[in-house]
Amino acid sequence: MAGRLEGKVCIITGTSSGMGEETARVFAREGAKVVCCARRVEKGQKVVDEIVAEGGEAIFVKCDVCELEDLDNLVKTCVDTYGTVDVLIANAGTGGFFNIHEMDLEKDFYRLFNLFARSSWYLSKLVLPYMMEQKKGDIIFVLSTAAIEGCPQGSAYSGAKAAVDRLSKALAMAYGPYNIRSNTIMPGLITTELSTPGGVVERMQLPYIPLGRPGNVNEIANALLFLASDECRFCTGADLIIDGGNKAGLLYPIPKGSDLRTDA
């Protein structure tokens, strides 16, 4: 099926690599007008150039989501170029894992909360008036399964992601009457430049994934495509967990030589 986002204006943050890059490509192939943004100008512009070369429509805006002025400029550029905004994909982010007693309040805690929670709230504030005027819109936050679990050395990371999850629920409740939907996706282990094949994150998580493999960025992009499309209009305030079954239950290793069918 093609054209699932035909004519929709979509802002996607963090498009210079990984899930954001792939989502920008998939959305453009489905007919969206994609406003891409990232801090890394050369990589971000390269993605846009390749989308345009393939026949898609996209522009690039340099943006650090921790800077409110950059977010103002991102939404202004989008509206100046395309007249409105139909879809916001808040994807930009990075990892950040620290022992609480060793954390620096400014460099560690505030940085992660600004990166995830403040930027998501502020971007929502900026795009909502346009969505309210047209009586339709989609806001989708790319979170992590860390938002629903305790994460060792991830107090600020998990806390910031969880805060955005509650923000999404509040938006769904408050703006549903305007036909504006707010949802999240919660990826588990996904292969990106932050989680490389054979790296420590993969080695730590892989034994506890029932499907036995990491996810890939295309699987995330297609989940976002479904949530942003008109095929999914009755879904709001939801969390879509994409983790190969990791959060389906507790995966206890069976002791060697044991058999759960016969052991009392």
To the query of whether residue 82 is one of the catalytic residues in this protein, the response is: no
SS3 180: strand
User: Residues 6 or more apart from 43 whose CB is under 8 A from it?
Assistant: 16, 17
Q: At a CB cut-off of 8 Å and minimum separation 6, what does 227 contact?
A: 138, 140, 183, 185, 235, 240
Tokens at 216, concatenated: 């890939």
Query: 157, 175, 208, 252: which one is catalytic?
Result: 157
Helix (H) or strand (E) holding 13: strand 9-13
Q: Note down pLDDT in tens along the chain; length 264 residues.
A: 579 999 999 999 999 999 999 999 999 999 999 999 999 999 999 999 999 999 999 999 999 999 999 999 999 999 999 999 999 999 998 888 888 899 999 999 999 999 999 999 999 999 999 999 999 999 999 999 999 988 888 899 999 999 999 999 999 999 999 999 999 999 999 999 888 899 888 998 999 999 999 999 999 999 999 999 999 999 999 999 999 999 998 877 777 777 656 654
Residue among 109, 90, 91 at smallest CA distance from 100 = 109
Do residues 163 and 116 make contact, with C-beta atoms less than 8 angstroms apart? Answer: yes
The closest alpha carbon to 98, from 90, 87, 106, 88, belongs to: 106
pTM exceeding the 0.85 threshold for the entire prediction: yes
Q: In angstroms, rounded to a whole number, what is the distance separating the alpha carbons of residues 75 and 69?
A: 10
In the CATH scheme, what architecture does the domain 9-242 have? Answer: 3-Layer(aba) Sandwich (3.40)
Q: Enumerate the domain spans of the chain.
A: 9-242
